[in-house]
């Protein structure tokens, strides 16, 4: 342990990471550098500075990474229409590569010997943080306290905090959430408490970002989302940055009861886990993006993307954002988005996102003269279909003849 002189800690200022800070100081007799990222969690990050100072930290990094997160991580992922196991929009998974990158960069800037995080030994985040760190610095040392210490219960953590007079306000006024929560611009997740029983319905007051669909307004909300190369760049004609888009859509979609999900997923470490998620902006973004692609993207390109998407989603979920295969796939996905330009009109109503219009003045592949049910003036020769069908049926007819003999 003597070779560890300085550690960069991913620090939220909450109970767990404040205890980890003190534990690192005592266990490794080292200097701790704290890094706190604002990625849109909706809570003040500056209080972490005062808490870190009170615990003797001299080098404190607090950074607003909302735009970088939305632009370089969320948007590229949604160009692939990414969903894990058919439901999960990867709100936690996609935030980890950015945090891992900054941990490694700060370690280099401060001449630190190691990085540390507060992920438990049961979850996916330990894998995501560390795979990312090793990809960016193969020789980085990682300290994962949850895999080393014996503070394996909430009671032990509280006792440790009291014994060491750790300045953590864990006795807040009002009702304390019984859930383990993680939030960023893309989503907020809930685990633990009654959710550990997959039969138990979530409590109504658990949800933070959305109203219940039955309590949403009786009048629908209409939006027009402008796309440029697969990314939303404007809403109702107003240009917006990626973080501004996510913030706006979270509010308007949440107000309409959109974005709730209750999932049992397969963790990379092997266990099944039940979690609830609110992803209002992501739910809208996914629906709109697919609608824009349906108008502007070649059929075989779209189908190929759909075939590759589960593999891409799995890479992100399992922590392989910085892998060469993910980067290769991203280049192909980004190339497919060159023609995904135009406007999608949506209706948001009581938990539903309904596409009610789409147009592209430059890249639409929809030809009304061919698709019409009216007289197409010879644009499409319907007799051509006979030969097309017979050629595609040839192998089926040969096999059928064999069976019938």
Which tens digits make up the pLDDT trace of 172-189?
Answer: 444 556 788 999 999 999
> In this predicted structure, what is the pLDDT of residue 266?
96
Q: What tokens does 95 get? A: 């935030």
> How far is Cα 8 from Cα 10, in angstroms, rounded to an integer?
7
- Domain map (residue ranges) of the chain: 6-72+90-163, 180-297+339-359
Nearest to 280 by CA among 197, 221, 364: 221
Nearest alpha-carbon partner for 191 in 119, 285, 255: 119
Helix H or strand E encompassing 291: helix 280-296
Would you call 64 a catalytic residue per the annotation? no
Query: d(Cα 150, Cα 19) in Å, to the nearest integer?
Result: 13
**CB-count exposure of residue 153 (10 Å: 0-12, 13-18, 19+):** exposed
Active-site position among 12, 16, 210, 358: 16
The pLDDT assigned to 172 comes to 46
If DSSP codes are grouped into helix, strand and coil, which group holds residue 7?
A: strand
- Topology agreement, domain 6-72+90-163 and domain 180-297+339-359: no
- In sequence order, what are the beta bridge partners of 347? 222, 354
* 299 among known catalytic residues: no
- DSSP secondary structure letters along 99-164: HHHHHHHHHHHTT-SEEE----TTSSHHHHHHHHHHHH-TT-EEE-GGGT-S--SHHHHHHHHHHT
Q: What is the pLDDT of residue 171?
A: 47
Q: Determine the pLDDT at residue 91.
A: 97
CA–CA gap between residue 312 and residue 37 (Å, rounded): 26
Q: Residue-wise pLDDT tens for the chain (405 aa)?
A: 468 999 999 999 888 899 999 999 999 999 999 999 999 998 889 999 999 999 999 999 999 999 999 999 999 999 999 999 999 999 999 999 999 999 999 999 999 999 999 999 999 999 999 999 999 999 999 999 999 999 887 788 889 988 998 865 544 444 556 788 999 999 999 999 999 999 999 999 999 999 999 999 999 999 999 999 999 999 999 999 999 999 999 999 999 999 999 999 999 999 999 999 999 999 999 999 999 999 999 999 999 999 999 999 999 999 999 999 999 999 999 999 999 999 999 999 999 999 999 999 999 999 998 988 998 888 999 999 999 999 999 999 999 999 988
pTM greater than 0.85: yes
Burial profile 199-208: b = 16 or more Cβ within 10 angstroms, e = fewer: eeebeeebbe
Would residue 16 show up in a list of annotated catalytic residues for this protein? yes
Q: Which listed residue (18, 66, 93, 96) is catalytic? A: 96
For residue 355, the tally of other CB atoms under 10 A from its CB is: 15
- Span 180-297+339-359: which CATH code? 3.90.1260.10
Structure tokens given for 21 = 């800070």
pLDDT digit string (tens) for 141-179? 999 999 999 988 778 888 998 899 886 554 444 455 678
Cα gap 349→251, rounded to integer Å: 14
Beta strands in 270-317 (DSSP E): 272-278
Q: Is 319 helix (H, G, I), strand (E, B) or coil?
A: coil
pLDDT number for residue 168? 54
Q: Among 72, 180, 255, 376, which one carries the catalytic annotation?
A: 180
| Degrees to nearest 5, angle at CA 219 with 215 and 224 | 115
Q: Which CATH superfamily is domain 6-72+90-163 in?
A: HUPs (3.40.50.620)
Q: Catalytic residue among 125, 189, 274, 358, which?
A: 125
3 classed as catalytic: no
């Amino acid at each position: 342990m003597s070779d560890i002189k300085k550690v960069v800690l991913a620090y939220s200022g909450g109970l767990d990471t404040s205890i980890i800070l003190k534990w690192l100081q005592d266990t490794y007799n080292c200097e701790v550098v704290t890094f706190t990222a604002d990625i849109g969690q909706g809570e003040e990050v500056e209080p972490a500075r005062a808490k870190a100072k009170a615990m003797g930290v001299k080098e404190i990094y607090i950074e607003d990474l909302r735009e970088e997160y939305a632009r370089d991580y969320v948007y590229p992922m949604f160009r692939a229409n990414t969903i894990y196991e058919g439901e999960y929009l990867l709100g936690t998974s996609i935030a980890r590569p950015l945090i891992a990158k900054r941990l490694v960069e700060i370690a280099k800037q401060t001449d630190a010997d190691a990085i540390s995080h507060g992920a438990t030994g049961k979850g996916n985040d330990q894998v995501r943080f560390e795979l990312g760190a090793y990809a960016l610095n193969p020789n980085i040392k990682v300290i994962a306290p949850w895999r080393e210490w014996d503070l394996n219960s909430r009671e032990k953590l509280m006792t440790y905090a009291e014994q060491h007079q750790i300045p953590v306000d864990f006795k807040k006024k009002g009702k304390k959430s019984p859930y383990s929560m993680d939030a960023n611009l893309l989503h907020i997740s809930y685990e633990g408490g009654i959710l550990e029983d997959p039969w138990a319905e979530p409590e109504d007051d658990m949800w933070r970002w959305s109203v219940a669909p039955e309590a949403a307004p009786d009048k629908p909300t209409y939006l027009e989302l402008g796309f440029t190369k697969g990314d939303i760049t404007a809403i109702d004609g107003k240009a917006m940055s990626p973080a501004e888009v996510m913030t706006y859509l979270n509010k308007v979609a949440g107000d309409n009861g959109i974005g709730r999900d209750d999932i049992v997923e397969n963790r990379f470490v092997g266990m099944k886990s039940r979690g609830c998620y609110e992803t209002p902006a992501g739910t809208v973004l996914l629906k709109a993006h697919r609608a824009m692609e349906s108008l502007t993207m070649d059929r075989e390109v779209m189908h190929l993307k759909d075939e590759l998407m589960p593999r891409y989603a799995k890479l992100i979920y399992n922590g392989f954002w910085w892998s060469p295969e993910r980067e290769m796939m991203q280049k192909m996905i980004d190339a497919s988005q060159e023609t995904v330009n135009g406007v999608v009109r949506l209706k948001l109503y009581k938990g539903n996102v309904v596409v009610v219009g789409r147009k592209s003045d430059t890249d639409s592949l929809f030809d009304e003269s061919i698709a019409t049910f009216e007289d197409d003036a010879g644009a499409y020769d319907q007799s051509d279909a006979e030969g097309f069908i017979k050629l595609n049926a040839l192998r089926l007819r040969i096999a059928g003849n064999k069976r019938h003999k």
